[in-house]
Amino acid sequence: MQQSHSLSAFSYAISNGIERASYYGIRSILIIYMVGESLQVPENDALEFYGMLTMSFYISKVFGALLGDLLIGNKTAILIGGLLQTLGCFLLCVENVSMLYVSIALIVIGSGLFAPNVFGQFGKQYINKTKIIDAGLSGYFLFINLGGMLGIIIIGYLGDKNFNYGFIFGGILMLTATLIAYFSKNRTIDETQIIKEKSNEILKKIVFVFVAIILAGVFWACYEIYFGSVLSLSIIGAIDVGNFYEMTSFGAIIILGILTVIWTFVYTNQFSKFCIGLLISALAVSLLITLPETSNDGNTNIIFISGLLLALGEAFLSPMLYAITTRYSNPKYLAILLSLVGLPILMFNKIAGKISEFTYDFKPTGIFIALTSVLILFGIIACIMWFFQKRDDHKLLLKVK
């Protein structure tokens, strides 16, 4: 049976991309707004608040997913969350510290309701579409990255002119995203049949998802430490870190677009992509091992090539955790599960941050050697899982031919 992407999947991906443009755009000007002449929040307080804000979004998504899947329905959660987030953006125009906190609370609660339920609805478009689920999730991450980048550029530009312009535009984006998602058609799914088909080998499916969480977590931890080490190179003048971030972000968008097309027509299982992504990332890091701690054009080129390779590795593996979760989950609780599997990534990032605090006295060379070794090790583990999932694919794909 021929499998294809649905218009609803595209609508949910567009909606989420627009929401990410609003979220990242507002976030990019928030601290400058807080410490500016209007509010005059102390810089340390603003930075501490910003850190709490990031954590709050992860937590709110779990509660939003629970409400959407178990109580009020995904579409209702999307509508309420989107309207709350829109209102929060507009209320930021009121130059008052108390109203600032009210606005941020509305944005956090709204995003917690909106984002996981849109993600869950998107994932349901690919239930029993094993051949193209990786393409679908790669496309979804493409819109996340594209929306985030454009939101930072556009809202950042408007915020430089007048903060209220940025906040109003963020609210308009959010309202647009809400309407697109709310009026997107749901795919009708025979959940009873799916549950029956997936109840035979529960332990195997739990193992697949658990290993995927570990592999993704290790990658993002290494990613965090890698960028911290690259930042240390920027301090000694080896690279302009701003250009480096822009280059890798743009590279990730281009690569995700290409891979979305490839995975639509060519199927290889998710752990094969984990394996390739981790090994490419190991190659990216290994390029920096012999890098001299001096600034010259040759060094800069090597670092940029390393960043592009890391973006390629990220594009291979980043969507696969959610592809595996979608494939092996009960769609009735998909928003919950998609929000929960992201929490360990946050934990891995926190661990990486703590590790980075103890690596300041180490030379970058030693850090890059350690990261390369870890990525190769877990790439080998992904290769082993590739073999086990390949046997599972053989049985599953016979049903969809």
H, E, C per residue of the chain: CCCCCCHHHHHHHHHHHHHHHHHHHHHHHHHHHHHCCCCCCCHHHHHHHHHHHHHHHHHHHHHHHHHHHHHHCHHHHHHHHHHHHHHHHHHCCCCCHHHHHHHHHHHHHHHHHHHHHHHHHHHHCCCCCCCCHHHHHHHHHHHHHHHHHHHHHHHHHHHHHCHHHHHHHHHHHHHHHHHHHHCCCCCCCCHHHHHHHHCCCHHHHHHHHHHHHHHHHHHHHHHHHHHHHHHHHHHCCCCCHHHHHHHHHHHHHHHHHHHHHHHHHCCCCHHHHHHHHHHHHHHHHHCCCCCCCCCCHHHHHHHHHHHHHHHHHHHHHCCHHHHHHHHCCCHHHHHHHHHHCCHHHHHHHHHHHHHHHCCCCCCHHHHHHHHHHHHHHHHHHHHHHHHHHHHHHHHHHCCCC
Give the span between the Cα atoms of 82 and 392, in whole angstroms.
Answer: 39
Question: How would residue 395 be classed by pLDDT, with cut points 50, 70 and 90?
Answer: low
- pLDDT value of position 236: 46
Mean pLDDT, all residues of the chain: 85
Residue 159 has pLDDT above 60, yes or no: yes
Overall average pLDDT of the 259-264 stretch: 94
Question: How would residue 200 be classed by pLDDT, with cut points 50, 70 and 90?
Answer: low
Question: How would residue 2 be classed by pLDDT, with cut points 50, 70 and 90?
Answer: low
Over residues 57-69, the pLDDT tens digits come to: 888 999 999 999 9
Question: How would residue 232 be classed by pLDDT, with cut points 50, 70 and 90?
Answer: low
Q: How many percent of the chain have pLDDT more than 70?
A: 86
Overall average pLDDT of the 227-254 stretch: 69
pTM of the entire predicted model: 0.89
- pLDDT value of position 401: 47
